[in-house]
């Protein structure tokens, strides 16, 4: 409230100064930006220009791409740049407007009746915005030519000739709002003219576009996966080829981007794709922004800048002092996004809301939380993920496009239906069937820390008679139900729109198979009195949502008459959301390492989103 009062008083003070200047002089000046958000700067933008609101106010982009791939990744001696040096370079770090299409246009009205001594100034308010934005003046004839724009420095002034013609201006952002700096993305562009003791002032309120994380209602353009370095995984290359074949047979047919020379197999975890957009004359003008996970020692995070940053693509990473190590709580897999909705308490999230997983009393990196909150559009909601070995939220909740009032359904794992399936098999004479039908090679390789060949000896009846196994699944269901209750209290969604996907769990609390003497530093020991679980079969909820297509991990469930009964149940569950399910084997490539298909991949989705118009 104190900040709001300051903003209102500041606006009121500027408005009073503007009115006083107009009353005391015979000269008039005006400055316009795209206040009505139609992509054009014209006279229709005069109303509401002095205050930025959710309905009115001009928007500009952070110009953090690398149009000509000029940002080096090594110094002159061939030594790789540090994380901070990598992230520091972008198209807005200098004083040249490299990408004119990503700069929002402004103009001033021609000022009449000036003498030859008239002087005009353009400056930004508040002062904290000075180093965060760039304002340019079109001194040449072509707005699309970089060299025709000049940076408006504090010492630059405009003479009566330029003022009488009117100035063509442009603005872009040098950096993102993060919640840790003293700038919230708002800026007033002030135009002041003095002439022989007379003064006229006007301003226009603007806001830098927030960085928005994608949700599953956004169309997928590209699926991203990784090709590992030699010695990391012998199973990854076959998985990539299977994925290529699956995607090529889908109706949507997204492209596949394979990032080579990877240090691990987890395409989901080192980054979170996002975007920023502003109105343009032909629709949104957008920039893809890839958020590096707050894991400073995770080498794959450097791929955001070394392999992905380029024309129309920028990157961001947390600042110094955050994201130590490679804690799994800070992985991209521990972030999901609820599509747009109005909460049961009446709060409108027009661009959805981020979900983050906490681990009991431990939360994700504060830099991650501060960044998301500072965007002002998708404030995070926390669910409990500490009962999972990896502790990632993508293991327990998923949102599926659907033609209902809300626009989506929600999928969660469900042990009750899975146990019911086993009981049905047992009662119909199939109790001796192996509960896991995977019969392929189980030769371990690096990081197959959850590989347990003994699971092949478990039958349907032996699982049902195992009291510990039943208790573990009840433990899992307790947390699934608790998180679901949080979501149902928040979302205006009916229970009938919750898809319960058959899922069984096993206890993998440290010490794990093949790791009796140590624990990977990226993981943590179980909290006192708690367990760490992983799914018994590859988890169906951990797949890729591609419109109405769903790529799920092959569960390798019990076989009856040659048919996988768990696979059939999963396919039926997703069919209730009109999803067509395709299965892919990731048992040795990812399941025994602690993840599934969603963990193994990422998605680059449509960025041409008019977020300011969302209902």
Span 558-593, pLDDT tens digits: 999 999 999 999 999 999 999 999 999 999 999 999
The enclosing H or E element of 240 equals: helix 236-248
Where on the phi/psi map is residue 4: left (φ > 0), alpha (ψ -120 to 50), or beta? alpha
> What is the pLDDT at residue 295?
92
Please report the DSSP string for 108-160 in residue order. Answer: EPPPPS--TT-EEEEEEESGGGTTTEEEEEE-SS-TT-GGGEEE--TT--B-H
Helix, strand or coil for residue 399? strand
Burial tier of 342 (Cβ tally within 10 Å: 0-12, 13-18, 19+): middle
Pick the closest to residue 408 from 457, 352, 453 (CA basis).
352
> What is the pLDDT at residue 321?
56
- What is the Cα–Cα distance from 164 to 29, expressed in whole angstroms? 10
Residues in the chain with pLDDT values less than 50 = 1-9, 18-25
> What is the pLDDT at residue 3?
46
Beta carbons within 10 angstroms of residue 100's beta carbon: 20
- Please report where in the chains the tokens 């700069």 appear, as a residue: 103
> What is the pLDDT at residue 6?
39
Burial tier of 548 (Cβ tally within 10 Å: 0-12, 13-18, 19+): middle
* pTM attached to this predicted model: 0.93
608: Cβ contacts below 8 Å, ≥ 6 apart:
277, 283, 284, 286
Helix, strand or coil for residue 404? coil
Beta carbons within 10 angstroms of residue 295's beta carbon: 26
Packing angle between helix 467-490 and helix 415-427, nearest 10 degrees? 140
> What is the pLDDT at residue 8?
43
Packing angle between helix 415-427 and helix 565-575, nearest 10 degrees? 140
- What is the Cα–Cα distance from 54 to 525, expressed in whole angstroms? 45
Instruction: Tell how far CA 114 is from the center of its chain.
Output: 50
- CA distances 555 to 416, 453, 472, 501, 559, Å, are 17, 16, 19, 12, 11
User: Could you give all domains of the chain from N- to C-terminal order, each with its CATH number?
Assistant: 30-63+99-208 (2.60.40.1700), 212-605 (3.75.10.10)
> What is the pLDDT at residue 9?
42
Question: 255 forms bridges with which residues in the sheet?
Answer: 222
């Amino acid at each position: 409230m104190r900040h709001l009062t300051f903003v209102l008083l500041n606006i009121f003070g500027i408005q009073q100064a503007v009115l006083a200047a107009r009353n005391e002089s015979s000269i008039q000046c005006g400055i316009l930006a795209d206040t009505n958000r139609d992509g054009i700067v014209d006279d229709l933008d005069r109303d509401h220009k002095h205050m930025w609101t959710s309905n009115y106010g001009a928007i500009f982009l952070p110009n953090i791409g690398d149009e000509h791939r000029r940002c080096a990744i090594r110094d002159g001696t061939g030594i790789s740049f540090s994380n901070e040096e990598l992230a520091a370079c972008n198209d807005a770090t200098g004083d040249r407007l490299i990408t004119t299409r990503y700069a929002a246009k402004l103009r001033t009205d021609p000022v009449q009746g000036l003498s030859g001594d008239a002087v005009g100034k353009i400056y930004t308010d508040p002062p904290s915005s000075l180093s965060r934005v760039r304002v340019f003046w079109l001194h040449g004839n072509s707005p699309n030519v970089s060299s025709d724009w000049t940076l408006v420095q504090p010492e630059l002034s405009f003479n009566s000739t330029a003022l009488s013609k009117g100035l063509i201006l442009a603005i872009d952002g040098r950096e993102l709002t993060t919640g840790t700096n003293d700038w919230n993305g708002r800026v007033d562009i002030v135009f002041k003219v003095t002439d022989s003791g007379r003064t006229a002032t006007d301003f226009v309120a603007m806001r830098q576009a927030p960085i928005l994380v994608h949700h599953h209602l956004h169309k997928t353009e590209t699926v991203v996966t990784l090709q590992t370095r030699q010695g990391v995984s012998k199973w990854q290359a076959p998985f990539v080829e299977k994925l290529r074949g699956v995607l090529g047979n889908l109706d949507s047919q997204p492209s596949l981007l394979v990032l080579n020379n990877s240090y691990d197999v987890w395409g989901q975890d080192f980054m979170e794709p996002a975007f920023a957009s502003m109105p343009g004359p032909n629709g949104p003008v957008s920039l893809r922004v890839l958020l590096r996970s707050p894991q400073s020692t995770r080498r794959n995070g450097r791929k955001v800048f070394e392999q992905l940053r380029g024309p129309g693509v920028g990157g961001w990473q947390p600042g110094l002092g955050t994201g130590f190590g490679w804690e799994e709580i800070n992985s991209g897999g521990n972030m999901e996004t609820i599509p747009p909705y109005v909460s049961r308490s009446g709060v409108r999230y027009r661009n959805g809301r981020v979900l983050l997983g906490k681990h009991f009393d431990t939360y994700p990196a504060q830099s991650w939380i501060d960044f998301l909150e500072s965007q002002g559009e998708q404030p995070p909601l926390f669910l409990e993920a500490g009962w999972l070995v990896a502790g990632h939220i993508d293991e327990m909740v998923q949102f599926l496009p659907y033609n209902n009032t809300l626009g989506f359904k929600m999928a969660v794992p469900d042990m009750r239906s899975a146990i019911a399936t086993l009981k049905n098999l047992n009662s119909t004479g199939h109790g001796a069937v192996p509960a896991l039908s995977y019969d392929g090679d189980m030769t371990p390789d690096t990081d197959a820390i959850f590989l347990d060949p003994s699971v092949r000896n478990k039958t349907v009846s032996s699982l049902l008679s195992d009291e510990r196994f039943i208790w573990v699944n009840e433990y899992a269901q307790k947390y699934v139900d608790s998180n679901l209750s949080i979501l149902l209290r928040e979302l205006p969604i009916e229970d009938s729109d919750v898809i319960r996907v058959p899922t069984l769990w096993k206890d993998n609390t440290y010490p794990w198979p093949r790791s009796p003497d140590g624990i990977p530093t990226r993981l943590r020991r179980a909290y006192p009195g708690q367990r760490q679980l992983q799914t018994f079969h590859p988890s169906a909820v951990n797949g890729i949502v591609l419109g109405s297509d769903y790529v799920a991990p092959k569960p390798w469930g019990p076989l009856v008459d040659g048919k996988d009964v768990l696979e059939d149940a999963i396919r039926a569950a997703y069919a209730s959301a009109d999803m067509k399910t395709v299965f892919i084997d990731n048992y040795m490539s990812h399941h025994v390492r602690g993840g599934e298909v969603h963990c193994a991949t990422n998605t680059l989705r449509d960025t041409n989103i008019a977020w300011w118009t969302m209902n």
